[in-house]
Structure 1
Amino acid sequence: MKNILTLLLVVLMGTTSVISQKKKDVLLTIDGNPVYADEFERVYKKNLDLVQDESQKDVDGYMQLFIDYKLKIAEAKAQGLDKKEPYQVELRKYRDQLSRSYLFEEKLTEDLAKEAYDRSKEEINASHILIEVGFEAKPQDTLAAYNKIKSLRERALKGEDFEKLAKENSQEPNADKSGGNLGYFSVFSMVYPFETAAYNTKVGGISEIVRTNFGYHIIKVNDRRARLPKIVVSHIMISDKKGAHTFDPEERINEIATMLKQGQSFESLAKEFSDDKNSAVNGGKLKPFTKGELRAPEFEDAAYKLKNIGDISKPVKTEFGWHIIRLDERVPETTFEEQKAELEKRVKQGDRAKVVVNAVNKKIKEKYNYKKGTDYLPFFDTYVSDSVLTRNWDMKPIPTAQDKTLFTIGDRTVKFSDFASYVADRQRSTMPFADKESLLASFYDEFETEKLKDYYRDRLEVENPQYAAVLGEYRDGLLIFDVMEKNIWNAAKNDSLGLKQFYEKTKQNYRWKQRVDADIFSATSQMTAQRIQKMLEEGRAPEEIKAELNPDGSVNVLLTQGIFEVGEQELPANLEIKKGISTIYPSNDSYIVVNVKEVLPEGIKELDEVKGRVISNYQTELETQWMDQLRSKYDVEVNNKTLKKVKRQLK
């Protein structure tokens, strides 16, 4: 929770002072370093509605938040956190992501997302023949594989049985049994070049030869059909995770299934018993989905077998537990705009990203006058030994006379020595390659892309004030997180003695409310609830009552036992807290009877019972003390003349 609050503070601080300023009015200095008025004005206007403390909503109050923020950044830099490798790695990741919208990538990504949307309306049934050959293979091996797939394609085009050709020639595992049949698939199911070839081939046709990282393929399209529409379902879930319940989950789901057959409301049972709390509050309703979108194929299969709106499934087992599913709606087709964000996310994460990379590199080269220098391969084929294949190559310095220019981009020159350093680092995390030349070619493509993008981003921060401001904001945000983690969050977690002393000082703040040790009976009718009361008065055991009132597999009573704090959801809201058998409390479509065996008084909770809350509060106290130290350590001077001017402008 503390981390979330600090990240919110980072957001509150908004854009940094990187933006070029028309008017350099200094609002304050921290150890002589200026902070400008226009930065304060921007963040004040941007974030005023997010400030919860009313006392901090006026300019003077907000100024204290702003100063605290700047002090934390100053301290983070004083502790050298901006030089740490994890910080640098995280910043590079964000810089890469942020620059995408400026690097010509967004339009390319959108085009590929639109293509995926159009393809997603169809499913294709196809078979294929694979001749394996990796991109790192020797030229003669690649040519042999190509000639073989070419011959097979010619035979297929002349009418030979495709399935027989696949069984006898395809190098896909189990092709001798499957005949290369892949069944039905849709967009994102296959690697992008394969998917494209399949979608570009008519039913009954044979595709052109297509190359993937697996090898060469030819594809025969057997059928095309419209993809299943999305559906909306509601479900009741009983978790089967260890320790989740004192009862048997399968028995409970079967009891609920019986209650549904007896006419109990699906929504009411979901609200009362479902362990999927996010959907339970809505009567069990889930967001629309189609096959392949959930991580539970058993759930999807059962849902799509329901034919009519309102149909209810039998209990279904998934990795999450037991479910009962009801079909609520068949969803009309969604537009591209409605799916755009999710589709673009998948484009960026999949092999379509390579298409974008190649196009982006071409654009950067054109914009900044890329010039190719000396070819790397003749030198590096000798300079780099085969030990690079086992990640053991030891880089030796390249003599100045041999340190040729690989390429220039703008005013930046990239040398052989730059690539050598990249190879030395990159070898440690590489996958196995068949030969050194393939490894060097792959590394060079990565290296050139990285250098082109680095140059573009560096220029972007100079040329685009908006980009510079957002990147600066994130820089500061990372520093705030790191300095808080080091000085407050971890300090509180690791200081067991200080935590115990803090607990002893504040333990009156951590108290149990009144509790009850109780058996809670949920009955399907008022008459059944009355029978429960009578049987309890006779001294009958809870399990005996449940067994007698649920004859022949029917479910008229559910039993929940344990110790409950007054106000917990399991107890009726207006339960009279006293030992003995309660009156009957209506709850949704059920009737609740509570047998209170013991009333436990209020009391102080042990440290282990509230450790999370105590740590959070201890962090708050440590932060208060730390901020006092920072205010003493740094010299903060506010320019009152500028502050008055800011107040006038903000009115």
Structure 2
Amino acid sequence: MKKYIVSILVLFVCATSISQNKKDVLLTVNGKPVYSSEFIRVYSKNLDLVKEESQKSVDGYLDLFIDYNLKVAEAHAEKLDENKAYIDEFNKYRDQLSRNYIYEEEVTNELAHEAYDRGLEEINADHILILADYEDSPQDTLKAYNKAKMVLDKARAGEDFETLVKTYSEEPNANKSAGKLGYFTVFNMVYPFENMAYNTKPGKISNIVRTRFGYHIIKVNDRRIRAEKISVSHIMIADNGEERTFDPKERINEISALLKQGETFESLAKQYSDDKNSAKQGGKLSSFRRGDLRAPEFEDAAYNLQKSGDVSDPVKTQFGWHIIRLEEKFPITTFEDEKEQLLSKLKGGLRSKMVTSALNDKIKELFDYKVVTGYKKYFNDELKTDYFGKDWKFADVDASKNKVIFKLDKKEFTYNDFGAFLTKGQRRIGGFKQKDNMLASFYDEFETFELLKYYKENLEEENEEYGAILNEYRNGLLIFDVMNENIWTKAKNDSVGLKKFYETIKNNYQWGERVEGVIYSATSNEAAKQVESLLKEAKTADEIKAAMNTDDTVNVIVSDGKFELGKRELPESFNAIKGVSPIYSKDNRFVIVNVREVMPSEVKELDAVKGKVMSEYQTYLEKTWIEGLRSKYDVEINKKALKKVKKELNS
């Protein structure tokens, strides 16, 4: 929630990486300069987000820009930038953001294209696993490989693969699973396994492939095109609703029956669906692919529909009951459409190590990397038995420990730095059986960590866009905190002030004329006349439903409650008179309303409109607060610079 609000608050970003002495000072806020380039950037970027036409002019937008900078100034004055929560969240975001800018482009793009191509297909395969750890002795490793080779020879000689799985596979639960993996696609398996599977033809058995789990033999059974993106419409009846007087399952079955009787999907969605957003569009949802939604039951039902216009039976999900209609099947998306998501997924697994290696080379070239050899012998001698007992410490006792291992520009990384890294690494030595392997692995980690850390520390200077976005989030967090402190929390806790404010605006919140009663929506004029006759006999709503509907046929849908004139539940030309109304017809719906009471227009109680009143109250408090900030802080505008800005933006 906080990140979402911050993204809305951040209307303005400051391009900090251009040398400030090359910019014109547009204004000063409490003595702090704000540059013309900053204003031009945010004005050009965010003009479409401004709703009021008066604020779209340079002068009007400048007022918003000043208010923004006043809020930042107040946040610093209240020392909100020193709060631990703020610092932690900013650092977390900076780390996440930097990952989007720190990668080796050529290698990354090659891997992204490979992943996209593989993602167009799904593979069905079985496998046999012979366990082997990278830390096993050479003798144990060879023994495991020879066993895998023996099993491979049997498989290629024609022996039954499932029997071989149950006889030789060391995968847990192999006897039960029979080594069957089902269908999978890119990123579902570790990279070496994926590589081998995608390079083995259906019906063939792969060569032996090594992963961190051991040696695998893969039998590829099938390859198929991956499911395309689809769009659907739905009618949803939620499990819980306001003033609900009916059973959701019964209602969805009634609607399903109406569809089978020829009612249109769009009209029923508009009239009955509890998904108000899609109901306005006749139930239409945004397109999706399998796995995009949080409702597998919904996806399964949607993908089981074969052609446009096909309609599902009622489907139960965590959100309620649905009827789904297939609208369209889309062609597979392009690489450019999926590029950002693919790049994000490349940051895990073996692919990430390939990217990291390329990135390390890039950083070394960028920052004049120099390495000094000799550390291996020194640390092999230092790592005595007590290191494996987790009691080892790299104490600074002799000058040799200040020797340089490598340099980046003028920054030196010493034996002491690596020793401290090794000290922390003792808790992770359980996975190593060979000291040489452990030392090499820890050194690679140490060097990668320091290279990346140094690059991040200098990234704002290296990448202008990154610096601007980072400053955007920095100020956005501060504005969230200062607004929360001075506006939102105050409004939430000030029940007395909220009530007083409500009294000044309550006439803006009125119920229209309403009726309390029962709406009977019939499928035909004849059915409506039957309802009319039953009402004259003083039959209850339940009695009318029982008389009109069967398990197979729904002739009337009944809704009991309070209904406002002009809303979708009542006919457009409905005349609010107590008693049984005449029959109203529209779009093949025939409606009768039994009005128990006509309720005149009246002011809505605070509890009924609290959210809207709270929003107005917060706006009022913010306006008053901003007026105070304008009095508290000096704001000076450089008219000459402003004139240049207007000329540039209007050219």
Shorter chain as denominator, the TM-score bin is 0.7 to 0.9
Shift in Å, 1:92: 3.9
Shift in Å, 1:82: 2.8
Shift in Å, 1:645: 4.7
Asked whether the 8 Å contact 2:271–2:568 carries over to 1, the reply is: no
**Which range is displaced more, 438-447 or 179-188?**
438-447
Name the amino acid aligned to 1:572: P
| 2:479 pairs with 1:513 | no
Shift in Å, 1:648: 5.0
Asked whether the 8 Å contact 2:571–2:584 carries over to 1, the reply is: yes
Counterpart-to-counterpart distance in 2, 1:447 and 1:319? 47
Asked whether the 8 Å contact 1:128–1:181 carries over to 2, the reply is: yes
Shift in Å, 1:541: 0.8
Q: Which residue of 1 aligns with 2:626?
A: 627
Q: Which residue of 2 aligns with 1:172?
A: 171
The 5 Å alignment of 1:382-401 reads 398=396, 401=399
| 2:256 pairs with 1:257 | yes
| 2:46 pairs with 1:63 | no
Shift in Å, 1:259: 1.4
Asked whether the 8 Å contact 1:136–1:439 carries over to 2, the reply is: no
Asked whether the 8 Å contact 1:20–1:465 carries over to 2, the reply is: no
Distance 1:45 1:182, change over 3 A: closer
Asked whether the 8 Å contact 1:2–1:616 carries over to 2, the reply is: no
CA distances 1:619-643 after superposition (whole Å, capped 9, x unpaired): 2233223323323332323334444
Counterpart-to-counterpart distance in 2, 1:35 and 1:308? 59
Q: Which residue of 2 aligns with 1:120?
A: 119
Asked whether the 8 Å contact 2:5–2:480 carries over to 1, the reply is: no
Q: Which residue of 1 aligns with 2:128?
A: 129
The 5 Å alignment of 1:318-357 reads 318-348=317-347, 352-357=351-356
Distance 1:228 1:80, change over 3 A: same
Asked whether the 8 Å contact 1:126–1:182 carries over to 2, the reply is: yes
Q: Which residue of 1 aligns with 2:608?
A: 609
CA distances 1:120-178 after superposition (whole Å, capped 9, x unpaired): 33332211122345667788766665554454335434544332221123232321133
Q: Which residue of 1 aligns with 2:570?
A: 571
Counterpart-to-counterpart distance in 1, 2:393 and 2:79? 30
Asked whether the 8 Å contact 2:394–2:420 carries over to 1, the reply is: no
CA distances 1:221-241 after superposition (whole Å, capped 9, x unpaired): 223334444444433333335
**Which range is displaced more, 621-630 or 14-23?**
14-23
**Which range is displaced more, 321-330 or 259-268?**
321-330
Q: Which residue of 2 aligns with 1:161?
A: 160
Distance 1:490 1:152, change over 3 A: farther
Unmatched tracts of structure 1, length 5 or more: none
2:19 is paired with a residue of what secondary structure? coil
Asked whether the 8 Å contact 1:104–1:360 carries over to 2, the reply is: yes
1:551 is paired with a residue of what secondary structure? coil
| 2:510 pairs with 1:479 | no
Counterpart-to-counterpart distance in 2, 1:422 and 1:91? 25
CA distances 1:2-52 after superposition (whole Å, capped 9, x unpaired): 9978744522x2434542357443232223222223333343344344332
Name the amino acid aligned to 1:361: N
The 5 Å alignment of 1:508-587 reads 508-551=507-550, 553-587=552-586
CA distances 1:279-326 after superposition (whole Å, capped 9, x unpaired): 433333444555444444434444444445433333233333333333
Distance 1:275 1:368, change over 3 A: same
Asked whether the 8 Å contact 2:14–2:38 carries over to 1, the reply is: yes
Distance 1:176 1:32, change over 3 A: same
Q: Which residue of 2 aligns with 1:235?
A: 234
Asked whether the 8 Å contact 2:243–2:561 carries over to 1, the reply is: no
Counterpart-to-counterpart distance in 1, 2:474 and 2:597? 57
Distance 1:8 1:330, change over 3 A: closer
Q: Which residue of 1 aligns with 2:10?
A: 10
| 2:78 pairs with 1:79 | yes
Counterpart-to-counterpart distance in 1, 2:408 and 2:348? 28
Q: Which residue of 1 aligns with 2:46?
A: 47
Distance 1:412 1:205, change over 3 A: farther
Shift in Å, 1:555: 0.4
Distance 1:300 1:510, change over 3 A: closer
| 2:597 pairs with 1:598 | yes
Distance 1:33 1:515, change over 3 A: same
Distance 1:66 1:96, change over 3 A: same
Name the amino acid aligned to 1:75: E
Counterpart-to-counterpart distance in 1, 2:482 and 2:472? 15
The 5 Å alignment of 1:54-453 reads 54-100=53-99, 102-133=101-132, 145-146=144-145, 148-241=147-240, 245-348=244-347, 352-372=351-371, 374-375=375-376, 378=380, 398=396, 401=399, 402=401, 405-415=404-414, 434=431, 448-453=447-452
Shift in Å, 1:618: 2.7
CA distances 1:320-369 after superposition (whole Å, capped 9, x unpaired): 33333334444444443344444444445676444433332232233333
Shift in Å, 1:557: 0.8
1:532 is paired with a residue of what secondary structure? helix
2:484 is paired with a residue of what secondary structure? helix
Asked whether the 8 Å contact 2:312–2:323 carries over to 1, the reply is: yes
Distance 1:540 1:386, change over 3 A: farther
2:458 is paired with a residue of what secondary structure? helix
Shift in Å, 1:554: 0.8
1:553 is paired with a residue of what secondary structure? coil
Distance 1:447 1:292, change over 3 A: same
Counterpart-to-counterpart distance in 2, 1:589 and 1:21? 69
Counterpart-to-counterpart distance in 1, 2:454 and 2:112? 27
CA distances 1:68-117 after superposition (whole Å, capped 9, x unpaired): 11111122223333344443444445444544564344554433332223
1:369 is paired with a residue of what secondary structure? coil
Report sequence identity in percent.
56
Count of residue correspondences: 644
Counterpart-to-counterpart distance in 1, 2:81 and 2:139? 50
1:314 is paired with a residue of what secondary structure? coil
2:592 is paired with a residue of what secondary structure? strand
1:202 is paired with a residue of what secondary structure? coil
Asked whether the 8 Å contact 1:137–1:434 carries over to 2, the reply is: no
2:10 is paired with a residue of what secondary structure? helix
Name the amino acid aligned to 1:51: V
Cα root mean square deviation, aligned: 3.9
Counterpart-to-counterpart distance in 1, 2:415 and 2:607? 60
2:155 is paired with a residue of what secondary structure? helix
Shift in Å, 1:245: 4.0
Name the amino acid aligned to 1:611: K
Shift in Å, 1:551: 3.4
Distance 1:24 1:188, change over 3 A: closer
Counterpart-to-counterpart distance in 2, 1:384 and 1:74? 55
Shift in Å, 1:558: 0.8
Name the amino acid aligned to 1:367: L
Asked whether the 8 Å contact 1:17–1:36 carries over to 2, the reply is: no
Asked whether the 8 Å contact 1:19–1:468 carries over to 2, the reply is: no
Q: Which residue of 1 aligns with 2:588?
A: 589
CA distances 1:420-462 after superposition (whole Å, capped 9, x unpaired): 77788899xx999656989998776555444323322333322
Asked whether the 8 Å contact 2:6–2:473 carries over to 1, the reply is: no
Distance 1:399 1:638, change over 3 A: farther
1:52 is paired with a residue of what secondary structure? coil
Asked whether the 8 Å contact 1:6–1:481 carries over to 2, the reply is: yes
Asked whether the 8 Å contact 1:136–1:433 carries over to 2, the reply is: no
Asked whether the 8 Å contact 2:233–2:326 carries over to 1, the reply is: yes
Name the amino acid aligned to 1:123: E
